[in-house]
Amino acid sequence: MKKFLSLSVLMVLISCGSSTTSQVPASNPSATTLTEEVSSTTTLELEQPTPEEQTNIGATVFGQNQILTVELEFSQNNFFEDLLKNHEFEEYITADLTITDASGVHVYENVGVRLKGNSSMDHPGEKKPLKIDFNRFISGQNHDGLQKLNFSNAFKDPSFLREKIFFDISRAAEVHAPRTNFANVYFNGELWGFYTVVEQIDDQFLNHNISDDTGNLFKAGSEGAADLQYWGTDQKDYERSYEIKNNEDANDWSDLITFIDFINNSSSEEFENDLDQYLATQDFLRSAALDNIFVNLDSYTLSGRNYYLYHNMETGLWEWIKWDGNEAFGVFAYGINQPLSELPATFADSRKVLLQRIFESEALTNRYLEETCFLIENFFNPTYMNEKIDVLSELIDNSVLEDPNKMYTYEEFITSLENDVAAEDPFIENYEPSGEIGSGLRPNGRGPNGGFTLGLKSFVEERHTYLTSALKCE
């Protein structure tokens, strides 16, 4: 049951144009005791949000830059071992939750908690990414109208800012991407770590951003690259690389297969002339341009992962939605054997057929480059980017300092805002290259950055200089 308390703890809060200094609580009030035990198979029901509440979903959590305080109270003696054990099966355990945001302190009983993620689960120590489902065991329970929240652990990001900045700018450019913020997360009264809070891509996101949630929503899978290659009409041949995230009872993938068939098998003339009848093309071109500009290559551009495709039933068009931006600013670069700041504006892995076919068309390439120039002029330039980095780094400074389980030191955090940080990639020496993607690994196993994680401001300066020189944007 949801309850409201007076604001008895202080929180770090910043509006878009100003900041205030305050203290995150050192101790945590206990979550409300359950009045009755609720098993993992029991679902209670609460009233659903009103239409007005639906319109304002997430406005408090994501409406301004802030650091939430998230306090989880687990009754299980070995709760962390349970979380680790359940990760493979995406199973939740119960916890009571106290969450403090700009609106005050709110207490929830019996929320669902599980660990999430793939490579980010290899963060050293116990600071693993997680998901909270308010609605899991009490139907209709939500916070700020939101049923789920994701918590990213800044894996391979000494700045703690990559995902927030990348998605903020994506949304400012009117590209579909989740909203983000920050949180200090406590487990049973112990500060567990400083996290990035990421909006869930679900029917609520679709309603809020696209005004339609009846079509199929597919996510690029984690087991195989979702290259949009055509493998015939059998749905089973696509299930390793894509996941359907709604309409599971119908489980009809024929619309996705038809779209992929068009991408691969239409003639050059048909592809150029008819792409706008299948895809919200201009939106996709801007989204793809953002991935290139920010060298966000753990995306469709290179890895073939971390995106959603939604079939908008009102327009009949496929809409592209971004996901998982923690490796923007050139963190993921397996197989790239050149300075990342000089990655060509039309770079795409050879197996990414949608981008390859776009770049084979002069007309479509020109539309893509127009989007690239728009983004550089309005967002990706040192003046705009450095101010954003300064404002957000000031907000999170103390939380980074206090994070007991961070992957990097506080000194590396400070350095990474301006300059490169020496950091070994925990995967690269064990990486098994296959095909073109693996061909650029250096003999020392360090990749194109030479064992460094790129600094934010230095990357922006170098990438901006290269792109403006190469493109001659008017």
> In a 10 Å sphere around its CB, with 0-12 CB exposed, 13-18 middle and 19+ buried, how is residue 202 labelled?
middle
Give tens-digit pLDDT for 255-302: 999 999 999 999 999 999 999 999 999 999 999 999 999 999 999 999
pLDDT, average across residues 378-403: 98
Q: What is the mean pLDDT of the chain?
A: 86
Convert the pLDDT of each residue in 216-263 to its tens digit: 999 998 778 899 999 999 999 999 999 999 999 999 999 999 999 999
Higher pLDDT, 97 or 86: 97
The answer to whether residue 154 scores a pLDDT higher than 80 is: yes
Average pLDDT of the residues in 104-118: 93
pLDDT band of 1, cuts 50, 70, 90: very low
Q: Produce one character per residue of 153-172: b if its CB has 16 or more CB atoms within 10 Å, e if not.
A: bbbbbbbbbbbbbbbbbbbe
The pTM for the full model equals 0.86
Residue-wise pLDDT tens digits, 336-361:
988 999 999 999 999 999 999 999 99
What type of residue is 374? F
What are the CA-CA distances from residue 278 to residues 235, 270, 275, 334 (Å)?
A: 19, 12, 5, 31
Query: What mean pLDDT comes out for the span 126-139?
Result: 96
pLDDT at residue 41 greater than cutoff 90: no
Q: What pLDDT, on the 0 to 100 scale, is given for residue 88?
A: 86
Grouping H, G, I as helix, E, B as strand and the rest as coil, residue 125 is coil
- Is residue 19 scored above 60 in pLDDT? no
**Cβ atoms of 164 and 182 closer than 8 Å:** yes
pLDDT band at 49 (very low <50, low <70, confident <90, very high): low
Residue 328 and residue 162 in contact, taking contact as beta carbons nearer than 8 Å: yes
Ordered alpha helix ranges (H), 267-352: 268-274, 281-293
Look at residue 3 and tell me whether its pLDDT is greater than 70. no
